[in-house]
Structure 1
C-alpha cells in the first residue's frame, strides 16, 4: 500500500473517531433542568387524585428552599393537601395556589413533592406554573405556556387529562371558614357573675319596695284603729255627760 493511501485511510479513521466522540459527548450532556408533573389518576373530574411534582436542580452552588405553585382554574387552594415533601418542608396556601418549602436541600438534589387534590377539573390540560427559589436567593421561573406551536424555553409543568368517566360530576365547592356557621357563644364565668351581680340589686330593690308597701299598709291600719278608738271614746264620754244632765 502506498504512503498516500495509508495517509488517506488514517484521516478517515481519525474523522470517524472524532464523530463518534462528538456523538458520545452529546448524549452524555445532561438535558436542561425543568419542572414536571404527573398524576396517579390523570382523568378529568377524578377525585382524591395525587399529583407528583419534580423540580430538577440547576444550581451548582445552592439547594432548593421553596417552590411556589400557581394552581390552574378549577382547583382551589383549599382543595389541596400535602401528601409528601422533603423532610421539614411545609405547605402554605396562597391566593392563587400554594408554597411548599423548608430547610435547604443539598446542592444538586431535585425537589420532589406530592399533593392530594379533592377533585381535578373538567379539562384536557392543566398547567401548574412553578417558581423555584434556592438558598442563595436565585429564582428559576417555569411559567411559560406554548404559543404559536413553539416550545417555550422555560415551560410550566403541564398535566394532560383523559376524558371524564361516564357519570362523573363536579363536587360542590369546599366550605370556607367564613361560610362555616358560628357556634352560639357561651357566657363566661365572668359574664355570669356580672349578670348575677346585676340581678341582685334588682331583687333587693323589689324586696325593699314590697317591705315599704307592707309598712304603709300596716301604718294605715294602725291609724284607722286609733281613729276608731278615739271616736268610740269620744262617744262614750258624751253619753256619760248627757246622762248626768
Structure 2
C-alpha cells in the first residue's frame, strides 16, 4: 500500500469515527430541558424551558409543557415572547392538595406556546415564574410535547431509569434542594440585624451643657468665697476701730 493510499484511508476512518461520535451526541443535545435545573424547596423561582430544533427539514411550531398535579404550583405566570401565542390551561386536580396557602383544588395543568417558529439549528427559551415550590419532594417533572411544521410530534415525557440511566426522550426535570435559610421568608442573620439602642447610645458624644453648668457653679462658688473673705476683713477692721475709740475716750476723761 502506498503512502498516499494509507493517508487517505486514515482520513476516511477518522471522518467516520467523528461522524459516528457526533451522531451519538446530537440526540443528547436536542433534549427539551428546564434551566436552571435546580431550585430551593418552598421558594419562588423563574425557569426557562429550553427547546432546540433537532430537525434539518422542519421547524418547531408548538411546544406544550404539562405541570405536575400531585405537587401543584399555586402561582404561575408567563413571560410574553414576541411572535408566540401562549395559553395557560387550568384544571381540577385529581384530589385536593393542602399547602401553606390553603387547600388547592385547581391549578395550572399545561402551558402551550404556538404561532412562532424555531428554525433548524436554532433554539428558543420559554420563561415561566412559579411557586411556591413543594417541600415534600426532591424533584418536579414537566413532560413536554414538541410539534414540527411537518406534523411530527416528539414527546419528551420519559423519566430516568431506576439505575439512573437516561431514557431516549427524557422529560424536563427540576431538582429541588433543601432551603438554605437565606431565601424568601428566612430570618435575618445576626450580622444583618439593626444595632440595639444601648450600642448607639454608647458611641454618642457627651453633652456640652453639663460641662458649662459645672464651670458656672465653680465660678459662683469662688465669688462667694471672695465676698465672704472681704466681709470678714471688714468686720475685723470695725472691731479694731471700736477698741481704739474706747481707749481714746478713757484717756480724755
TM-score, with normalisation over the residues of structure 2? 0.54
Q: Does 1:31 align with 2:26?
A: yes
Worse overlay, 92-101 or 138-147: 92-101
The 1-side partners of 2:7 and 2:46 are apart by 54
> What is the SS of the residue equivalent to 2:177?
coil
CA distance in 1, matches of 2:150, 2:82: 18
Distance 1:86 1:27, change over 3 A: farther
Q: Does 1:16 align with 2:15?
A: no
Find the counterpart in structure 1 of residue 215 from structure 2: none
The corresponding residue for 2:133 is 120
1:62-211 to 2 correspondences below 5 Å = 62-72=58-68, 73-76=70-73, 78-95=74-91, 97-108=109-120, 109-122=122-135, 123-149=137-163, 150-166=165-181
Moved more, 21-30 or 67-76: 21-30
User: In structure 2, do the counterparts of structure 1 residues 137 and 89 end up closer, same or farther at CA, with 3 Å as the change threshold?
Assistant: same
Partners of 2:3 and 2:178 in 1: CA distance: 60
Unaligned ranges ≥5, structure 1: 1-6, 171-245
**What is the aligned partner in structure 1 of residue 219 from structure 2?**
none
1: distance between equivalents of 2:60 and 2:125? 10
SS at match of 2:26: coil
Return closer, same or farther for 1:91/1:39 CA change in 2, 3 Å cut-off. farther
2:40 corresponds in structure 1 to 43
What is the CA deviation profile of residues 135-186 of structure 1, one whole-angstrom value per residue up to 9, with x for unaligned ones? 343211000112232321111011223222238799xxxxxxxxxxxxxxxx
Aligned-residue offset at 1:19: 2.9
Name whichever structure is richer in helix by fraction: 1
For residue 152 of structure 1, give the secondary structure of its aligned residue in structure 2.
coil
For the Cα contact (< 8 Å) 1:75–1:119, is it kept in 2?
Answer: no
Deviation at 1:12, TM superposition (A): 4.5
Q: Is the 8 A contact 2:83 2:116 kept in 1?
A: no
Return the TM-score normalized by structure 1: 0.55
Q: 1:110 to 1:70 in 2, by over 3 A?
A: same
Shift of residue 35, structure 1, vs aligned partner:
0.5
Find the aligned partners of 1:37 and 1:105 in 2 and give their Cα distance.
19
Deviation, structure 1 residue 27: 4.9
In the alignment, the residues of structure 2 paired with residue 164 and residue 64 of structure 1 have an alpha-carbon distance, to the nearest angstrom, of 37
Note the aligned Cα RMSD (angstroms): 3.0
Report the 3-state secondary structure (helix = DSSP H, G, I; strand = E; otherwise coil) of the residue aligned with 2:79: strand
In terms of fraction of residues, the more strand-rich structure is 2
Q: What is the total number of aligned residue pairs between the two structures?
A: 162
Q: 1:55 to 1:106 in 2, by over 3 A?
A: closer
User: Could you say which residue in structure 2 is the equivalent of 1:184?
Assistant: none
Change (3 A) 1:100 1:130: same
Residues 39 and 17 (structure 1 numbering): CA distance in 2 closer, same or farther, change over 3 Å? closer
**Pairwise CA distance, 1:91:** 3.1
Give the Cα–Cα distance (whole angstroms) in 2 for the partners of residues 45 and 25 of structure 1: 45
